[in-house]
Structure 1
């Protein structure tokens, strides 16, 4: 089977009026995959650390014995493979494409694992990018997974819309940062989820603070948090507040993120565990 981005463009999108009825856009899971839960990690803006949150939560669930995968849906700015130190090319056969595995057993698919040179830019138009994401679900052989985490690009454009409409999300986690515009960021993501009938599991704040290595004082580098106000306004639970941790950044740059256990996401992990138990 040839896994071609160009061949992925299907259907005539020109002139079609986009509807909120997802049944028109739903795609079928690869017959050799069995994914129990699919969780999107989203944000209304870039630069808030969605990939770090995605990878940290994936690590926590893997440490607890769950079978976990990461779909790197940030097609033009993929970072997950680099964080885990894995390199392509991913290979496939007549049944589909196989994801690569990190040192801790997490299965990963990303455009970086398909390109001849992982540093090549992805210069594709929206329909091609959107259909590549669908192929990450229909053509990738994920096998048995308890959780597939989808690391999405920021905003409400083609890729988030495709994921919300075409893939069977069980819920999303919104990632934000401690700045004045946090309420707008959260609201955008919440309203998109509501229009697409996807549950919002809660909010995670990244870059909440840092601990001075000399005196132990907690420093609010980006100002005081507005997370509680935003979460209360949207009636959402707060699933974690993550500090700035230079060690995590160093491990990500070194491709050694599989060894990170970020306990700031314990509550988010509890929500995912409860979801799995309720389905048993």
Structure 2
């Protein structure tokens, strides 16, 4: 079993190949002095037409829920979609997409085959370790595992790969932005000032590494009482929309805070799937449509 092989790999091999994939022997290139290497060359992900990173400056703003529902909404628009869970330490995609088990390997044994549900292909570290097992790794091992998740997964042909980024502006964000051709980033924030402070850092990070900002999404824009439908702006009013205008980046839309969105996400039946014609799914569909419009402006085949 892949996960057992993964967990029992020797310490030396663990640093070189943390996912335990079989790799054919290759001739090593000549050593290049560190000063001459420069930044890593960005590589496209095989078979994937467009890659977007869904990010947040801090945790707890509903980034993964938003990423999943955007991906599912795009899949409902006849796009071939995949989700890559780049949060090595706290993967959420297996639960949100109601997936479990280990991915199979290709015939050559050198690539992982994504799991699939709701018509969307998914890959996550959560498929490779036990649900309650902590990943106690240093940065080098995390980066090596991330590189394998980026370049050693057989996605087939995808119109869109949504990368669910971990919160913050650390090593993972830098590795992805420097090693993968990313068509754009989407930053998720609540209207609260303390969340917007970190969201601005996220926007500026992507600008610094030359990743286009596709826009900002305001999550938990207001609370809707499930009993009386009373609306309350418990996190503030239109903070993300004003910030997007101030930073001159697109505002993609907003999603309210409602018990149904939370409950259905926890059960592995996201709102776009369980209530596709409802008012909350409509928010995600509108955001996905705006994203696809931006991507298609440079690729008529995506229209």
- Normalising by structure 1, what TM-score? 0.87
Larger Rg: 2
C-alpha deviation, 1:83, in angstroms: 1.1
**Aligned with 2:64 (options 46, 51, 62):** 51
Structure 1 residue ranges without an equivalent (≥5) = 10-15
Q: Contact 1:239 / 1:265 at 8 angstroms: preserved in 2?
A: no
Give 1:215 shift.
3.2
Q: Distance in 2 between matches of 1:86 and 1:219?
A: 34
Q: How does 1:70-81 map to 2 (within 5 A)?
A: 70-81=83-94
Looking at both structures, which has the greater relative contact order when contacts are Cα pairs under 8 Å and sequence separation is at least 6? 1
Q: Check the 8 A contact 2:74/2:285 in 1, yes or no.
A: no
Alignment map for 1:113-124 (pairs within 5 Å): 113-115=127-129, 117-124=130-137
Would the alpha carbon gap of residues 232 and 161 (structure 1) be closer, same or farther in structure 2, given more than 3 Å must change?
A: same
Distance 1:249 1:214 in 2: 15
Q: Distance in 2 between matches of 1:232 and 1:190?
A: 13
Residue 112 (structure 1) aligns with: 126
Distance in structure 2 (CA, Å) of the matches to 1:49 and 1:230: 18
In the alignment, is the contact (CA less than 8 A) between 1:183 and 1:229 conserved in 2?
no
Structure 2 CA distance, aligned partners of 1:59 and 1:39? 14
Alpha-carbon contact 1:78-1:110 (below 8 Å) kept? yes
Match of 2:112 among 97, 104, 116: 97
| In structure 2, distance between residues paired with 1:268 and 1:155 | 22
| Rounded Cα–Cα distance in structure 2 between residues aligned with 1:28 and 1:40 | 14
- Cα-Cα RMSD: 2.4
SS in 2 for 1:71: strand
Q: Would the alpha carbon gap of residues 270 and 228 (structure 1) be closer, same or farther in structure 2, given more than 3 Å must change?
A: same
Q: Distance in 1 between matches of 2:254 and 2:44?
A: 36
1:263 deviates by 1.8
Structure 1: distance between partners of 2:97 and 2:208: 34
Q: Distance in 2 between matches of 1:198 and 1:86?
A: 30
What corresponds to 1:13 in structure 2? none
Give CA deviations for 1:10-49 in whole Å, capped at 9, x if unaligned: xxxxxx78x9x65x243463xxx41000000011111111
Say yes or no: does 1:127 pair with 2:147. no
1:202 aligns with 2:222: no
Which of residues 265, 273, 278 is equivalent to 2:292?
273
Could you tell me whether the CA contact under 8 Å between 2:16 and 2:144 is conserved in 1? no
Residue 178 (structure 1) shift: 1.4
Distance in 1 separating the partners of 2:151 and 2:224: 44
**Which residue, out of 15, 24, 31, partners 1:6?**
15
Unaligned runs of 5+ in 2: 19-33
**1:217-268 superposed Cα distances (whole Å, 9 cap, x missing partner):** 2111223331232112210121111111211222222222272442213343
| Count of residue pairs the alignment pairs up | 268
By how many angstroms is 1:189 displaced? Answer: 1.1
Deviations along 1:144-181, whole A, 9 cap, x unmatched? 00100000011111111111111110000000011112
**SS of aligned partner of 1:98:** coil
Alignment partners' CA distance in 1, 2:211 and 2:141: 24
Contact 1:78 1:112 in 2 (8 A): yes
1:225 aligns with 2:238: yes
In 1, Cα distance between equivalents of 2:145 and 2:77:
31
Deviates more, 1:223-232 or 1:151-160: 223-232
